[in-house]
Structures are given as structure tokens and as C-alpha cells.
Amino acid sequence: MSLLSQRLARRLGAAAFAFVAVVSGVGAGTPAFADQVRERQYWLEDYGIEQAWSITRGEGVRIAIIDTGVDGAHPDLDGAVIAGADFSGLGSPNGQTPVGFDRRHGTMVASLAAGRGSGDGNGVIGSAPAAEIITASMSFGSGAISPDDQIARAVRFSVDAGADVISLSLTRNTRDWPETWDDAFTYAAENDVVVIAAAGNRGSGTVSVGAPATMPGVLTVGGVTEDGIASDAASSQGITIGVMAPSEGLVGAVPGGGYVSWTGTSGAAPIVAGIAALVRSAYPSMDANNVINRLLVTATPASESIPDPLYGYGLVNAYAALTVDVPSVSASPLGSLEAWITLHRKRQGESAIVPLGPSATEVDEVREPLEGVVVSNRGREVLPYLVTGGFAIVLALVVVVGASRVFLAVRRR
């Protein structure tokens, strides 16, 4: 059975269970009591997440967290982590040993995507508390294995492990990305995986959005304040931003069983990843392109211009994403990575092969398609071979005639 078939079978099976749970009233209500941590999760109500739980809590969907590793022993993540691997060379084989300079980060991210809480209304609960987590641990610092290679390998692993959604709370701080990512992210697209990336934080030096949030097909998440205003410190700006989610006043679970207050689009991205999981659970046959489109179209507009470089399509709305009638699309509204690769990477490092031009008597018939310039893979502009070939012939004639004149002048002497 193919990876796509396995994913579809898992989501279809879970959808039947989710339907039973809804009609029987199981898991449809809001906890009667909440501790200080749960009370601070304002986005659960404000962004329609609690309301969406009356339809699904993310059953049957797997979210891959490519980060510093997820501590599956935290009470809020008990039973959530079902697969994992380490790509840093520093962690444990199951990816559940936090690594790197900020070991807490991966667990914090995972808790906002699919945390289960602990007890009745206690702890951090994610947007999709019934979804499963795949952890791929990596180190952002220098080491024997470059972060670029770690991420490329982690993406492919996540796909093979059955991820329906991949969440990336990281940035290269550059708009471009290595060629190894071409293959890895194309592999995710070919296997119908929704890839979500954080826009980055201006307060940390990321003024504009960087890769992977600049990659075609990737849903980029920016951050807003508790009042829904684009965050000055905890969000970057860029035309690739798709939707906005809370990036300030966040709480998250940390390794060892504790909690921390934090800010940043590192938290906004997994909130949206969990909402994407709710959509995939509610619509198990829907492909990744339409899941992303549904999140974009149902977002609450935050400006008159849509999409807007600051807000994208607006503030994500979980309940609307599950209930609004949205026309289907046949391609990703965020572009095609495969098409980008064909345009920008093809024959990189080689000269473009262009046929020689026609004879002079035929030039007028084909002049239109040959006009302009051919842009080489290195960004330099070169004239078409028809022009350069003609120029070479003229130059040769000038040289021959000149040489002949010199020869005759010598003989006359």
C-alpha cells in the first residue's frame, strides 16, 4: 500500500470514530475548570478552536515536528508521540531527547500543536489534541551535520513516517535554500503533505521572511498580538505570508514537566499546524492543496488588501475552516515548488542549449520568438545564438578583408 493510501485509510478510519464521538457527545465540551496555564490559552476561544472541537479534535492525523526534539514524557504529551528519529547525531534514536542550545523549543512547539493537557482542564492543550506527533530532532548550532542537511533528511523521514502535516518553527534567515531542500520538499508535496513554516521574528533579527517560509507551496504563518494586531517584535513581514496566528502571550510545555511563557511565530506555526490537522481529520479525502486553500479563504481579513504583505489572508479561523463552503482548487494557491525548480535550477552550472539561428532569408519568419534575451542560469543576460553567430560571421569577414588589405599593401612595396 502506498504512503498516500496509508494516510487516507488512517484518516477515513478516524473520521468514523470522530463522528461517533460527536453524536454521543464525547469530548465535545469545554472543561469546567481550568488552571492558570489553560486560562492563558486565549487563542482556543478567540480563533474558533474550541468550537471546532465539536466536529473533530484531530483524530487520525499525524503532525511532524522538525525541531530540537519532543519530550514525550511530559504529562501534556503522554501518548502523543508515536514515531521519531534523530538527525543531529546528538540525540536518542527515537528523537525524544531534546538537543541543541535551546532544548526546550521542540517540546514547546509540539504542545501547541497537539498537547493533550494533563487532568481535567490542566496544562497545555494543542489545537488538535487527538492528533499524533512525529518528532524529528535536529540541532540548529554548528556540528558535523549541517542544519540544512538535517532538515532535508528530517522532511523525508517525516513523510515516510506517515506525516499528514509538517510544522517547521525555524528559518535560514535567507530567502534562498539549498538544493537538497528541493528534493525533500518536493517529496512532501508529491505525497500530499501540508507543510507549514513560521515567518520569523523581527525582534530576533529576522526582518523579512526567510526559507523555508519563502518556498512555493509552503504555508507561511505570521504572528499577531493578543488583540490581533501584527506583532512588531514577534513576526516578520513578507509577501509569502499566508495566515496569521497568535505569537504573543503564549504558554508552552517544556521538558521535565514544566511550562514557560513565550512569544514568537515559533508558537504561531504549530497552532496553525494543529488547525490544519483538524481540517484533514474532518475532510479525510481532501488533498493538501485544498486544505491550505481552505485555511486561506476562511481566514478573518485583517486589512483591505488580500493578500496583504503584513497579514496575508488574515487571522486563521479554525471553526470557519471546518464549516464554510469553499470551492475546490486543482493546484496549490501558494505556487508549485516543482515549477520553481524547473525555472530556476534547470541546467544550473551549464550553458543553456539553444539551436543555431536560421539562414538570413528565413529570419523574418521567426524573428518574433527569437527577440529578446536568453537569461542564463547565473542571471547573466546573453544574446541569442542567432545574433551571436551572425556577429561572429561579420567579425570574421572584417578580419579577412583587413588582412587581405595588409597583404596587398606589403606586396606593392
H helix count then E strand count, the chain: 13, 11
| Burial class of residue 375 (count of CB atoms within 10 Å of its CB; 0-12, 13-18, 19+) | exposed
* Distance, CA of 219 to CA of 199 (rounded, Å): 10
Q: Which of 158, 266, 281, 332 is catalytic?
A: 266
Residue 62 and residue 134 in contact, taking contact as beta carbons nearer than 8 Å: yes
What are the two backbone dihedrals, phi and then psi, of residue 250, each rounded to the nearest 5 degrees? -90, 160
Q: Which residue has the cell 533579527?
A: 205
Q: Which of 74, 76, 88, 105 is catalytic?
A: 105
Verify cis geometry, omega within 30 degrees of 0, for the bond prior to 255. no
Q: Is 344 marked active-site? A: no
Task: Please tell me whether residue 13 adopts helix, strand or coil conformation.
Answer: helix
* Distance, CA of 3 to CA of 140 (rounded, Å): 29
Q: Which of 67, 86, 287, 308 is catalytic?
A: 67
* Distance, CA of 168 to CA of 136 (rounded, Å): 11
* Distance, CA of 402 to CA of 215 (rounded, Å): 56
* Distance, CA of 392 to CA of 385 (rounded, Å): 10
Q: Is 35 marked active-site? A: no
* Distance, CA of 189 to CA of 43 (rounded, Å): 29
Q: Is 105 marked active-site? A: yes
CB atoms within 10 A of CB 333: 17
H-type alpha helices, 96-162: 105-114, 147-160
Residue 44 and residue 91 in contact, taking contact as beta carbons nearer than 8 Å: no
Residue 254 and residue 67 in contact, taking contact as beta carbons nearer than 8 Å: no
Provide the annotated active-site residues.
Answer: 67, 105, 266
